[in-house]
A and B are shown apart, each in its own frame.
Chain A
Amino acid sequence: MSTIDRRRMLYLLAWIYALLALGINVFWQERDVFPIFNWSLFSVVTDNNVSPTLMIHRIDDLVFDEPMNFFDLGAYFPRARSRDVKVVKLIRRYRADVAVDPTAGPALIRAIEQRFLAGYDRVDYSLETWRYDALERFHHGRINERILHYTGSTVEDPS
């Protein structure tokens, strides 16, 4: 391969990558075609933030009066301790996928339960989206809206 050929090849590769990355964003709504990442990171700046949230209602015999945020339960769940942001991405994906195809739900629910809630006989939980102004929430604890997507349990018959 001559120097000019090598240079052209690398230019071509860069163009292909850039076009695919941008195309993914346009045609697949910011979903990735592995291993091409679209590099859309913290692009949306808003005062109406959206946080996908995993709320825990019960762990075995421990029933919470008020549901607890998964990430506040680091003493119970290792991935809460390590602040594994994948749970946020999975809930976001659940919300988007189920809106288009309701049959996509069970696989994502299984992934969330087995990856994040394992280690107990029974965990009751809900998947929610919280909307808020980050500064308002920080200073005054104000939440604008809570949207419930799914309520479930790691046992088949929670009754």
Chain B
Amino acid sequence: MSRRRMPLGIGRHLRVLPGDAPRWHEHGRMAERCIFIIQIYYLLTLARLYSVGHQYTSFSRHPDELMPLWPMAWLPLDASINDAFSGLVLAMQVIGVLGLFFWRHFIVRLLVCVAFLQHMTFANLGGAINHGLHEWFWLSFILLFLPAGLWRQRDDALSRHQRVGVMTVFAAAGGFILMFYSLSGYYKLRELVLTEAHGVYGALHWDSMAQIVGGRMFDTMSDPPLAEFLLNYPILGWPMFMLLYYVEVFAFIAIFRPVLLKPFAVVLILFHIGTFLFLDIAFDDHVVINGLFMLMSPLAPGGFRVMQTVLALPVIGDVLRVFVGRRWRETGRAAVPAE
């Protein structure tokens, strides 16, 4: 049976593995599942927009400390800011509810995207940016590209064009998340190469993770649950640190090799649990996002096959495939459901 490959830019060079060929007969089920997950995303977006009111009241007492960002240029920076905030909080809650029920309409998704941008703006006032909400916002932006007319028919009666459109946007959402990790991995790798080139202390040193953990601990004088343990046994952190470098640098490849989506999601979720245990930084939103758009992704093949996953790993799998040769193709093809 022919396995056509779509023109996907760099994707056509990376999508070379068994188990990720188009599964036409499954597209209906996959698109329905994508829609279900997008529905959960808008439910959780409502939960976030619903509770924004508490976060803004402290700003309104001190307009000087706002140091505004451009998306709030329309807000008055004087005493009337309190009224503006009150109105805005109400508007965000209304938009959140609209998003939950009517996200299939483009205009509602656009409203949610703008509302979340406002939310993210207020959460990042005061002259310093935290990145906790950025992923959530960019997902709302990517979802603007969902195909039109989703509201006209039931989810199990979408046209072929709509089904593929939904899956494309869903895959792009996961792809953006993975790209963010890869960008983070790029900076880490760049610093690693520079420090090694200059022969100075860097990430390859056996106690490097302990330095990161200790540095953060002393930044905020915090006491993360496992930080002291790691500072007493610094070498234990190094393998985890190197695994993180590997997964972050190559994260974006997982979108072209869906067999990696679930394993990478698990590692990235564990990484975020690690950031809490070692750094006292909680990324609950990122855990949820990785769970929804990667771990639960209908685009990933079902089940878990060790060999198939190992052979799909960037670099490691690419090298192994050279030696395993024809056998992996046969194993892989056997693993793909019959079309």
Residues of A within 8 A of B (CB): 1-4, 6-7, 9-11, 13-14, 17-18, 21-22, 25, 32, 34-35, 37-49, 51-52, 69, 71-72, 83, 85-86, 88-90, 93, 107-108, 110-111, 114-115, 118, 130, 132-135, 137-139
Contacts and interface: CB of A to CB of B under 8 A. Distances in A.
A134 B218 contact: yes
Contacts of A4: 6-7
Given A114-B64, A135-B234, A7 B130 contact: no
A44 B65 contact: no
B117 to A, nearest CB: 6
B231 A134 contact: yes
Interface stretch (B42-50, B208-216, B290-298, B306-314): B208-216
Given A39-B180, A43-B187, A132 B64 contact: no
Contact of A108 (B120, B127, B164): B127
Interface string B56-84: 00000110110101110000000000000
A125 B207 CA distance: 34
Contacts of A93: 127-128
Nearest to B281: A85
Mostly, the A contact residues are helix
Interface of B: 6-9, 61-62, 64-65, 67, 69-71, 117, 120-121, 124, 126-131, 134, 137-138, 142, 145, 147-148, 161, 164-165, 168-169, 172, 175-176, 179-181, 183-184, 186-188, 190-192, 195, 201-203, 205, 207-208, 210-222, 228, 231, 234, 280
Given A1-B147, A35-B117, A134-B211, A10 B142 contact: yes
B220 A134 contact: no
A52 B128 CA distance: 14
A134 B165 contact: no
B231 A138 contact: yes
Contact of B179 (A3, A14, A86): A14
Contacts of A37: 129, 131, 134, 180
A71 B222 contact: yes
B214 A42 contact: no
16 contacts: A1-B165, A10-B142, A10-B169, A34-B69, A37-B134, A39-B131, A42-B188, A47-B205, A49-B214, A71-B222, A88-B220, A111-B127, A114-B62, A115-B65, A135-B211, A138-B217
Contacts, number: 176
A24 to B, nearest CB: 11
B127 A83 contact: no
A32 B164 CA distance: 35
A25 B216 CA distance: 22
Nearest to A71: B221
A40 B187 contact: yes
A3 B127 contact: no
B5 to A, nearest CB: 13
A49 B211 contact: yes
B195 A137 contact: no
Please provide the 8 A-B residue pairs with the shortest distance between their CB atoms, ordered closest to farther.
Answer: A134-B214, A89-B128, A71-B221, A43-B187, A49-B215, A114-B65, A39-B183, A10-B172
B202 A45 contact: yes
A89 B9 CA distance: 39
Among B175, B187, B190, find the residue whose CB has the most chain A CB atoms closer than 10 A.
Answer: B187
B126 A39 contact: no
A34 B120 CA distance: 10
B211 A3 contact: no
Among B64, B203, B215, find the residue whose CB has the most chain A CB atoms closer than 10 A.
Answer: B215
A72 B96 CA distance: 39
A18 B130 contact: no
Contacts of A9: 145
B176 A14 contact: yes
